[in-house]
Structure 1
Amino acid sequence: MSGRNGTILVLPGGGYQLHAPHEAEPVAAWLEGLGWHARVVRYPVGVAHPAPLDAVRAAIAAEKATGEGPVGVIGFSAGGHLAGHAALAPDSAPDERADFAILAYPVVSMVSDPHPRSRAVLLGEDVGDEDATAVSLESLVRPDSPPVFVWHTTGDPVVPASHSLLLARALADAGVAHELHLFPGEVHGVGLAEDDPAAGWTAHAARWLEERAAPLLPERAQGVSVPDWSV
């Protein structure tokens, strides 16, 4: 059953090798508190592309089959890459595609300063640039891509903030509605970031969900003027 605002699928990070617990159920509980139905998707790990993406596509399609509202995704680190992939992949069927995405310190590019572990698990050690580009989020953005909210810390030592900047530039160039937040700190994998300088991301995301995602509900879509929060 969907919440009053629809459904958000939670994709925890872990370098495509595991699911970080603090980026799973605690995040779903936070979203439930905002009025969204949320559930954690434990996509397959330690396996090559497209298995993780196919699992999330299936989960999106199952939620959309209920017809009870938009279906978004939220992902962290490697889960952020997967969430972005679920929103941006050009070969997804309409019922497999996320309606919006929230990406937290995401892995974006598999070509430009890639996260080595995520790239190796997803694509193998000897992948060429053409195949790596095919799963790099910045190369998948199209003018009809869904809205995206992305945040990062400026000194992230694991996945550089340049990943989020690269994605934001691609979204801006394509005219896609999006919002980017950069927070001070040299941290990665902070989840909800309680007691951290990046803690403000949840308030920004909650407001963005209300202004950008909730109006996608059928009963709220007619006649709604949505502010342009593009960067």
Structure 2
Amino acid sequence: MIIDRRTALIGSIAAAGLTACTAAGRAQTPPPATPASPHLTFPEPTETIDLWPDGPPGAPAQLPVETVRERSTDRAFNDRYVFGISRPRMAVFRPQRPNGAAVLITPGGGYNWVVVDKEGYEMARLLAAEGVTAFVLFYRLPHEGWAAGPDVSLSDAQRAVRLIRHRAGRFGLDPARLCAMGFSAGGHLCADLLTRFDARVYAPVDAADRLSARPNLAAPIYPVVSMTLPTAHAGSRRNLVGENASPERERAHSPHENARSDAPPTFLLHSEDDRSVVVENTLLLRAALRARGAETETHLFPDGGHGFGLRLARGKSVENWPALFLAWARRKGLST
């Protein structure tokens, strides 16, 4: 079964250990640390890439303090989240046999925090086992005082895509084989990126910013899309645009309102019993992309709930979704 194979792949990549960090990687900010975590199920990533060489733009007078919390008491897995991110960065998962493809992963967390394991490291290990170089993005949160406000997470996502392309040679990547994948609020960030990849949300800082931030493929998984109630996820809406956002502000940050004909081919997936982020979010994005002639592939499942990632999909109709994504990715030339 796919879950058994997936578990074996994750275990093999962990047993082999992640590639030692490069000299440049050692100089970067480490991954979010969890000194209070009672256990670490798999080795932590050892290579990171800071997004901003001189610190991120538009910092508040008092920087937020990065804090990590562990929710799991089961030694079989970790389930951490991080907030107060003031050094946005990517954790890198290099495959033993890279195939030249890359995926930028934006985990969820309702724009209140960024999930570390369930929608970040677990997916990255699976992709690395498939030969794909994975980059897990720890992005700044819009409610923590940054000058860019609701565009601060998009600033980090655009910058991340450009940096991956700029350093493609270092990682053995084809810059034209880059997919953005996001979950829940991270799915909103992924959808925001695929519809507003060329929005000027920060001032260029170096040569990397001359490159396109358009991903070649995109995969928003059970994404937050609409910022208009009642379809909107209330927590994500509050953290991104504010409780009393005007209709104009809601539309500006609802990816289906910004859909475009040159959006990358997009893989959409949602469970119909999702009570946190209702399936209408995915349906709105699908309809808007299709109305503009953009290519989509959509999978809906009767059960799965919200936030299933890999581990919590087991035993549900949605459990084989990673195989569907990987098959689509192969058809689109992302992986071999």
Q: Same fold (TM over 0.5)?
A: yes
Q: Partners of 1:90 and 1:43 in 2: how far apart?
A: 16
Alignment map for 1:118-137 (pairs within 5 Å)? 118-137=236-255
Change (3 A) 1:87 1:187: same
Q: Which residue of 1 aligns with 2:184?
A: 77
Instruction: Using CA pairs under 8 Å that are at least 6 residues apart, name the structure with larger relative contact order, 1 or 2.
Output: 1
* 8 Å Cα contact 2:198/2:214 also seen in 1: no
Q: How far did residue 96 of structure 1 move?
A: 1.8
Q: Which residue of 1 aligns with 2:6?
A: none
Q: Which residue of 2 aligns with 1:43?
A: 139
* 8 Å Cα contact 2:198/2:213 also seen in 1: no
Give structure 1 regions of 4+ aligned residues with deviation exceeding 6 angstroms.
Answer: none
Q: Which residue of 1 aligns with 2:38?
A: none
Q: How far did residue 197 of structure 1 move?
A: 2.0
Q: Which residue of 2 aligns with 1:91?
A: 198
Q: Which residue of 2 aligns with 1:226?
A: none
Larger deviation: 14-23 or 151-160?
14-23
Q: Partners of 2:197 and 2:167 in 1: how far apart?
A: 23
Counterpart of 2:316, as a letter, is D
Q: Partners of 1:157 and 1:52 in 2: how far apart?
A: 25
Q: Which residue of 2 aligns with 1:57?
A: 158
Q: Partners of 2:316 and 2:235 in 1: how far apart?
A: 26
C-alpha distance after superposition, 1:72-96 (max 9, x if no partner):
1111000000011111116347522
Alignment map for 1:151-190 (pairs within 5 Å)? 151-185=269-303, 187-190=305-308
Q: How far did residue 57 of structure 1 move?
A: 0.9
C-alpha distance after superposition, 1:40-73 (max 9, x if no partner):
1011124431111101111111001134322211
Identity between Structure 1 and Structure 2 (%): 31
1:195 aligns with 2:298: no
Q: Which residue of 1 aligns with 2:11?
A: none
SS of residue in 1 equivalent to 2:303: coil
SS of residue in 2 equivalent to 1:41: strand
Structure number with the higher helix fraction is 1
Counterpart of 1:23, as a letter, is E
Counterpart of 2:273, as a letter, is G
C-alpha distance after superposition, 1:131-188 (max 9, x if no partner):
1101111111111111110100011100110111111111111111110000111610
Q: How far did residue 5 of structure 1 move?
A: 3.6
* 8 Å Cα contact 1:110/1:119 also seen in 2: yes
1:24 aligns with 2:144: no
* 8 Å Cα contact 1:102/1:149 also seen in 2: yes
Q: Tell me the TM-score normalized by structure 1.
A: 0.87
**CA RMSD across the alignment:** 1.9
Q: Tell me the TM-score normalized by structure 2.
A: 0.61
Q: How far did residue 213 of structure 1 move?
A: 4.2
Q: Partners of 2:129 and 2:296 in 1: how far apart?
A: 23
> What runs of 5+ residues in structure 2 fail to find an aligned partner?
1-93, 201-210
* 8 Å Cα contact 2:304/2:317 also seen in 1: no
Counterpart of 2:185, as a letter, is A
* 8 Å Cα contact 1:90/1:140 also seen in 2: no
SS of residue in 1 equivalent to 2:127: helix
Q: How far did residue 97 of structure 1 move?
A: 2.1
Which of 93, 104, 107 lines up with 2:221 in the alignment?
A: 104
Counterpart of 1:63, as a letter, is I
Tell which structure's C-alpha radius of gyration is larger. Answer: 2
Larger deviation: 169-178 or 88-97?
88-97
